[in-house]
């Protein structure tokens, strides 16, 4: 049995109302960590749209608290000024200082081609996928407790390497990978580790049977990813076993896009 030494540590997972984020939250909770399940809040919602993130995140947090231990739902629009400070305030109020930050929240639009490219679309991608993680990492570093060794895991994508048709999304995630390396170097002296996981095609409900079949044909390990595949890699990078790993981007994609 491997002791990850995550029991009792406080973990903040952004964008954790469902899919990969919820799987990451559950994986940390299973290790005995206290987990803050962040969800998006938009005010107001666009016409005809109902935000469901809050209810889903509250349900996820409630399940974790009932089944495994301490968990709380926290909220915020990461594009807003001071979102980083207000989010950390919420977590500290309920669970204490953040030991592990997982920047999972992401913005992705379609179409995302050069033909559809707009300044506003690019701005939305970069605000959530690159700028918000940078500000959250800075807030983590500012609030580091004496003697503490917090860590960060950023969630990128194999589209950051090259993915035609995902210009804003792919390039903003490439910026996140560059941020991972820069932050790892700048914060190493403070004992803060920063790494990233780059998922390949993961089935979170968006793939129909035909798409799953296509993914199987192009992924060397012959299957689509599952949220737990990503969650396990994230937990490893935050664990005691990864204590001398920083500045790395680990592709978890079954060999896709090598």
Helices and strands counted in the chain (H then E): 8, 7
Token code pair at residue 87: 């989010």
What is the dotted CATH code of the domain comprising 10-252? 3.40.50.720
- Return the pLDDT at 53: 42
For every one of its 258 residues, what pLDDT tens digit does the chain have, with 9 covering 90 and above? 789 999 999 999 999 988 999 999 999 999 999 999 998 876 554 454 344 444 554 566 566 655 656 888 898 999 999 999 999 999 999 999 999 999 999 988 888 999 999 999 899 999 999 999 999 999 999 999 999 999 999 999 998 987 788 999 999 999 999 999 999 999 999 999 999 999 999 998 888 899 999 999 999 999 999 999 999 999 999 999 999 999 999 999 999 988
Q: What residue ranges do the domains of the chain occupy?
A: 10-252
The pTM of this model reads: 0.92
Q: Classify the C-alpha dihedral 183-185-191-197 as positive or negative.
A: positive
Any residues with CB less than 8 A from the CB of 10 and at least 6 apart, and which?
A: 33, 34, 35, 36, 91, 95, 96, 97, 98, 99, 100
- Return the pLDDT at 68: 54
Cis peptide leading into 111, omega within 30 of 0?
Answer: yes
Side-chain half-sphere of 60: how many Cα atoms within 13 Å?
Answer: 29
Q: Determine the Cα angle at 196 with ends 192 and 197, to 5°.
A: 145
- Return the pLDDT at 71: 85
3-state secondary structure of 148: coil
Choosing from 40, 88, 169, 236, which is the catalytic residue?
A: 169
Number of Cβ atoms within 10 Å of the Cβ of 49: 9
Token code pair at residue 194: 């920063």
Residue ranges of the alpha helices (H) in the chain? 19-30, 53-67, 83-95, 119-126, 132-142, 167-187, 209-218, 227-238
- Known catalytic residue: 169? yes
CA distances from 235 to 72, 78, 138, 218 (A): 19, 23, 21, 27
Separation CA 104–CA 156 (nearest Å):
8
CA distances from 97 to 1, 40, 142 (A): 28, 21, 11
């Amino acid at each position: 049995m491997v002791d990850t030494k995550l029991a009792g540590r406080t973990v903040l997972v952004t964008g954790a109302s469902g899919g990969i984020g919820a799987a990451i939250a559950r994986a940390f909770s299973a290790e005995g960590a206290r987990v803050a399940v962040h969800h998006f809040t938009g005010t107001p919602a666009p016409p005809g749209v109902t935000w469901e993130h809050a209810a889903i995140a509250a349900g996820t947090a409630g399940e974790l608290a009932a089944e495994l231990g301490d968990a709380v739902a926290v909220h915020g629009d990461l594009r807003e000024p001071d979102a980083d400070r207000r989010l950390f305030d919420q977590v500290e109020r309920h669970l204490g200082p953040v030991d592990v930050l997982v920047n999972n929240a992401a913005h992705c639009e379609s179409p995302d081609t050069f033909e559809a490219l707009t300044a506003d679309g690019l701005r939305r991608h970069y605000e959530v996928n690159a700028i918000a993680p940078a500000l959250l990492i800075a807030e983590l570093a500012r609030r580091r407790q004496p003697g503490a060794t917090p860590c960060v895991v950023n969630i990128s994508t194999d589209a950051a390497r090259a993915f035609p048709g995902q210009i804003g999304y792919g390039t903003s995630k490439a910026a996140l990978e560059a941020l991972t390396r820069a932050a790892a170097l700048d914060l190493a002296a403070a004992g803060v580790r920063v790494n990233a996981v780059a998922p390949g095609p993961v089935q979170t409900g968006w793939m129909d049977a035909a798409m799953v079949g296509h993914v199987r044909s192009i992924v060397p390990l012959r299957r689509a990813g599952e949220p737990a595949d990503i969650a396990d890699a994230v937990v490893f990078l935050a664990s005691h076993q990864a204590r001398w790993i920083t500045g790395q981007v680990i592709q978890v994609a079954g060999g896709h896009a090598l």
